[in-house]
């Protein structure tokens, strides 16, 4: 009987790992999907960010109700002041993440934007965890930070003085790092909500709140979404697959997957973005940029293995 239970446990763990991998791969498709929207029609980062949050929010609210049996809106009404504050921070930073990342993709490649945003977020979170949550960083966090800075410089081609003059390209990379910082702040806010709010409710409220926060800006600057059926299909995909479906996979996968393994599997996200950008957009990293991407991934590995 013990052998049977071990095999069953191993099988559950294997399925959990597959679900976490699928979630990471779905998240890795976002930057390429946005690039396709820019190529296929006329739109703005603010419009795409709002559309993604707005399409995702109803699906996430429905999923939260199905999997918890309770309405996220009712939970918010009863929440204490501190919980309200953390949820507002989460909604604001999630909205900022969408806009910064999608604005970056108008100025830099999908590959560079994805790697900078996705790999810098955990490093920002580790560094900011000290002043915000009292999580004192270890020396390995310092090593990861140095590696991440060097990797960012190489990936952004800051070693080439000609690229320093291309301010638009530099702004794109800065915006990608801004997306990483925004997601780091969101993750810290979500960490502060653990044990107080169900994960399904956190996700639903953050996406719904982010959509409401962006709406006045969209109305003020103009809603621009001029593309055909293929473009609208990508919009629906961005709102449903890398959000609702990915979070289903991720949350259920984490039930049987150790956190250390799950964080390692998250490396599939930037790798998926890089591979799709090569296949669908013909993007290629130069030698020094490839070295920078590898250094960023290695820094992420150090951060997770030695924390």
Each residue's pLDDT tens digit, 212-235 = 999 999 999 999 999 999 999 999
Query: Residues 122-150: what's their mean pLDDT?
Result: 80
Lowest-pLDDT range of 50-54, 97-101, 128-132: 128-132
Better-predicted residue by pLDDT, 45 or 165: 45
What's the burial of 18, exposed, middle or buried (CB within 10 Å: 0-12/13-18/19+)? middle
Query: In the structure, what pLDDT confidence band is assigned to residue 307 with cuts at 50, 70 and 90?
Result: low
Question: In which band, very low, low, confident or very high, does the pLDDT at 163 lie, cut at 50, 70 and 90?
Answer: low
Note whether 28 and 271 are within 8 A (CB). Answer: yes
Structural domains in the chain (count): 1
The range of the structural domain enclosing residue 223 comes to: 2-305
pLDDT at 66 over 60: yes
pTM of the model: 0.85
With 50 as the cut, is the pLDDT of residue 7 above it? no
Most confident of 77-91, 126-140, 164-178, 286-300: 77-91
pLDDT higher than 90, residue 113? no
Asked whether residue 128 carries a pLDDT value surpassing 90, the answer given is no
Model pLDDT, residue 13: 58
Long-range contacts (CB closer than 8 Å, 24 or more residues apart) made by 54-59: 54/211, 54/239, 55/235, 55/236, 55/238, 55/239, 55/240, 55/243, 56/207, 56/239, 56/240, 56/243, 56/244, 57/204, 57/207, 57/208, 57/211, 59/239, 59/240, 59/243, 59/244
Residue 72's pLDDT is: 86
Confidence of residue 102 (pLDDT cuts 50, 70, 90): very high
Q: Region 15-23: what's the mean pLDDT? A: 86
- Above pLDDT 70, what percent of the chain? 89
Average pLDDT, the chain: 84
State the pLDDT at residue 31: 93
When pLDDT is cut at 50, 70 and 90, the band that residue 261 belongs to is low
């Amino acid at each position: 009987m013990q052998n049977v239970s071990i095999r069953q446990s191993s099988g559950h763990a294997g399925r959990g790992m597959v679900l976490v991998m699928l979630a990471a791969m779905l998240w890795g498709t976002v930057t390429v999907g946005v690039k396709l929207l820019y190529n296929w029609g006329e739109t703005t980062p603010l419009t795409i960010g709002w559309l993604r949050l707005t399409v995702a929010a109803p699906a996430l609210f429905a999923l939260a109700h199905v999997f918890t049996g309770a309405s996220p809106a009712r939970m918010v009404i009863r929440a204490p002041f501190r919980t309200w504050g953390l949820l507002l921070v989460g909604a604001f930073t999630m909205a900022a993440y969408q806009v910064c990342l999608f604005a970056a993709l108008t100025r830099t490649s999908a590959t560079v934007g994805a790697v900078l945003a996705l790999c810098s977020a955990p490093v920002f979170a580790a560094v900011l965890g000290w002043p915000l949550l009292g999580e004192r960083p270890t020396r390995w966090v310092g090593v990861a930070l140095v590696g991440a800075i060097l990797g960012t410089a190489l990936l952004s081609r800051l070693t080439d003085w000609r690229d320093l003059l291309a301010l638009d390209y530099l702004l794109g990379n800065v915006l990608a790092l801004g997306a990483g910082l925004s997601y780091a702040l969101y993750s810290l806010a979500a960490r502060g909500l653990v044990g107080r709010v169900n994960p399904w409710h956190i996700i639903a409220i953050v996406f719904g709140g982010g959509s409401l926060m962006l709406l006045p800006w969209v109305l003020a600057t103009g809603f621009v979404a001029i593309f055909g059926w293929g473009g609208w299909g990508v919009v629906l995909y961005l709102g449903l697959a890398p959000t609702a479906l990915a979070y289903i996979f991720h949350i259920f996968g984490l039930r049987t997957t150790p956190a250390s393994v799950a964080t390692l599997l998250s490396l599939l996200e930037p790798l998926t973005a890089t591979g799709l950008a090569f296949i669908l957009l013909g993007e290629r990293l130069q030698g020094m940029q490839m070295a920078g991407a590898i250094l960023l991934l290695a820094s992420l590995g150090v951060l997770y293995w030695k924390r």
